[in-house]
Amino acid sequence: MPFHFFKELLSLVYPPYCIICEIPLVEGESIICTRCTIDYTHGNTRLYENHIKEKFLPDQPLIRADALCTYTKKGGMTKLVRKVKEDKAIAEKVGRHLGLLWAKHTTNPPINMVVPIPMHHTKLRLRGFNQSTALARGLAHSIGKPLVTSFLKKKVNTEEQKKQTKEQRYRNQKNAFAATGNGPSIKGKHILLVDDLITTGATLKAVGDVLLEEGVAHLSVATLALTI
Interface residues with Zn ion (CB under 5 A) are: 18, 20-21, 33, 36
CB of 129 to Zn ion, least distance (A): 25
CB 41 within 8 A of CB 68: yes
- The DSSP 8-state label assigned to residue 29 in this structure reads -
Looking at the Cβ atoms of 80 and 152, the one nearer to Zn ion is 80
Q: 40 or 177, CB closer to Zn ion?
A: 40
Q: Cβ 111 to Zn ion, closest distance in Å?
A: 30
Closer of 79 and 120 to Zn ion (Cβ)? 79
Q: Output 18 or 119, the one with its CB closest to Zn ion.
A: 18
- Smallest separation, CB 26 to Zn ion (Å): 11
Query: From start to end of the chain, where are the E strands?
Result: 48-49, 62-71, 113-116, 152-154, 177-179, 190-198, 218-227
The C-alpha angle with vertex 169 and arms to 167 and 172, in degrees rounded to 5, equals 110
To Zn ion, the closest distance from the beta carbon of 196 in angstroms equals 19
Rounded to a whole number of angstroms, the distance between the first and last alpha carbons of the chain is 47
Whole-angstrom distance, CA of residue 61 vs CA of residue 79: 32
